[in-house]
Structure 1
Amino acid sequence: MRVEIWSDIVCPWCYIGKRRFERALAGFPHADEVEVVWRSFQLNPDHPKGARVPLEESLAAKMGATVEQVRAMNARVKAIAAEEGLEYDFDRYNVVNTFDAHRLTHLAKAYDLNAELHERFLRAQLVEGEVLDDPDTLVRLAAEVGVPEAEARRVLESDDFAAEVEADSAELRALGGNGVPFFVIDRRFGISGAQPTEVFERALAMAHEAATQESSSSR
């Protein structure tokens, strides 16, 4: 079984969805048969590179809401995240362009560290208040999970993996998705959003049953 997960590494709901999926996978009897593939998607692809905007200010402008309304919405998201063991710090959260960070997650695949770097970036942005468009920060965080510093810096100074990031986003749109998190199991079942753990449990079971029946019928 193959689970592909499209995610942005600064997305609050993506981190929540990741934790819920992980809980479902941990209880899945056939977890050792599941390959998880992380794919890139930018929630704000048109955000100018180098521009850092506080989250409340950015959301208020995007939604046509007041800062107070955004703050109340964020408080709800923080409470939901806390239920998953995630202590979000939106006071230090800056909206940035994540294209370069996503390029590094593709570099990490070469070292079989894509999942680890994805987790590290999510935690850095949402819990620790790091700024994920700063090259030195990106190199340091990548090195923490085992990606060579020199290689990470070389990639950031080039256009390497730009095509891979763009291809991931295009593929999600081709599948009918336009937001993240988005989970695709064996290209049979699609799950949009940070659904409850039970939804992931049912989808994994259904996908395994479908794969088993297909295998049996092909013999």
Structure 2
Amino acid sequence: MSDSNSSPAAPAAIKVDVWSDIACPWCFIGKRKFEAGAAGFDGQVEVEYHSFELSPDTPVDFEGNEAEFLATHKGLSVEQAQGMLDNVGGIARSVGLAYDFDAMHHTNTVKAHQLIHYAKARGAQLDMNERLLAAYFEQGRHLGRTEVLADIAAEAGFDRDDVVRSLEADEYLADVRADQAQAQAFGINGVPFFVFEGKYGVSGAQDPATFRQVLDTVAAEKAGLSSVEVAQ
């Protein structure tokens, strides 16, 4: 028999799995929009990030700026690519981000993803994901280089030497590949991609209201309410 004075158990947190890439400008924008939507949600949300490489064949040291990479990758002129970056930069500013495409080092992100898994194993995945996105898009740091990643990890309180050891040994490469395999199984071919409770998928940097609506819907389902009851 339960204690009559005990409070009812709090609703379980809604699990949200997010596939993203450190080099994806929409992923940082989508992160901010999701956070805004979740902030207005009356419940708990548990977020877990998963690895996705948009351009796994990108070299560690790409010779050229971001506009030149985008032009090559998308088959555009450099002028068209720069226009796209200017547009994305404006959207980033609208959610409080200061993208610096001129300072950006376009690079292979597999080591950065391994560092996120390193942090995840130590309970600090969300913080590391945020640090790496900011380092890439706002601070112009070269995230393809182990020494730079180790510096960022040390700033987050990790043992720098151990991070170097882990990255050089590809300790978490299998975890990165497992995330990518799961994305393929789900049919995910672009990021950011948000999966709510393992069954509702939302693609792209949607408006905060969209994320809030999905959270409300999933919470109602978990509570056994109908859509009519939710609307009242």
* Bin of the TM-score, shorter chain as denominator length: over 0.9
Q: 2:148 aligns with which of 127, 137, 141?
A: 137
1:12 to 2:39 alignment: no
Return closer, same or farther for 1:52/1:29 CA change in 2, 3 Å cut-off: farther
Contact 1:52 1:94 in 2 (8 A): no
Q: Match of 2:230?
A: none
Q: Which residue of 1 aligns with 2:188?
A: 177
The answer to whether the 8 A contact 1:44-1:97 is kept is yes
| 1:38 alignment partner AA | Y
Runs of 4+ in 1 over 2 A off after TM superposition: 48-53
Measured in 1, the distance between the counterparts of 2:210 and 2:123 equals 28
Q: Unmatched 5+ residue regions in structure 1?
A: 215-219
Q: Which amino acid aligns with 1:58?
A: F
Q: CA deviation at 1:86?
A: 0.3
Alignment of 1:143-182 (within 5 A): 143-182=154-193
| The 10-residue stretch of structure 1 (53-62 or 121-130) with the greater mean CA deviation from structure 2 | 53-62
2:202 corresponds to: 191
Residue 2 of structure 1 corresponds to which residue in structure 2? 15
* Pairs within 5 Å for 1:36-51: 36-51=47-62
Matched residue SS, 1:95: coil
- 1:119-146 Cα shifts (integer Å, max 9, x gaps): 0000001011111011111001112122
1:16 deviates by 0.2
Partner AA of 2:174 in structure 1: A
Change (3 A) 1:165 1:52: farther
Are residues 28 and 52 of structure 1, via their aligned partners in 2, closer, same or farther at CA, if it must alter by over 3 Å? farther
Partner in structure 1 of residue 220 of structure 2: 209
Q: CA deviation at 1:51?
A: 3.7
Q: Tell me the secondary structure at the aligned position of residue 6 of structure 1.
A: strand
Q: For residues 63-107 of structure 1, what are the alpha-carbon distances to aligned partners after superposition, in whole Å with 9 as ceiling and x for unaligned?
A: 211111111111110000000000100011122110011101101
* Uncovered stretches (5+) of structure 2, i.e. residues with no partner: 1-13, 226-232
Larger % of helix: which?
A: 1
Q: 1:174 to 1:53 in 2, by over 3 A?
A: farther
Q: Which residue of 1 aligns with 2:123?
A: 112
Partner of 2:135: 124
How far apart are the structure 1 equivalents of 2:163 and 2:65?
Answer: 27
Query: For the residues of structure 1 that align with 2:116 and 2:219, how far apart are their CA atoms?
Result: 28
Per the alignment, in what secondary structure is the counterpart of residue 49 of structure 2?
strand
The two structures, once aligned, show a CA RMSD in angstroms of 1.3
* Conserved? CA contact 1:52–1:96, under 8 Å: no
Asked if structure 2 preserves the Cα contact closer than 8 Å seen for 1:188 and 1:207, the reply is no
CA distance in 2, matches of 1:136, 1:209: 47
CA distance in 2, matches of 1:3, 1:79: 27
Return closer, same or farther for 1:52/1:30 CA change in 2, 3 Å cut-off. Answer: farther
Cα distance, 1:50 vs. partner?
Answer: 4.0
Describe the SS at the equivalent of 2:87: helix
Task: Give the share of equivalent positions with the same residue, in percent.
Answer: 42
Matches of 2:91 and 2:193, distance apart in 1:
18
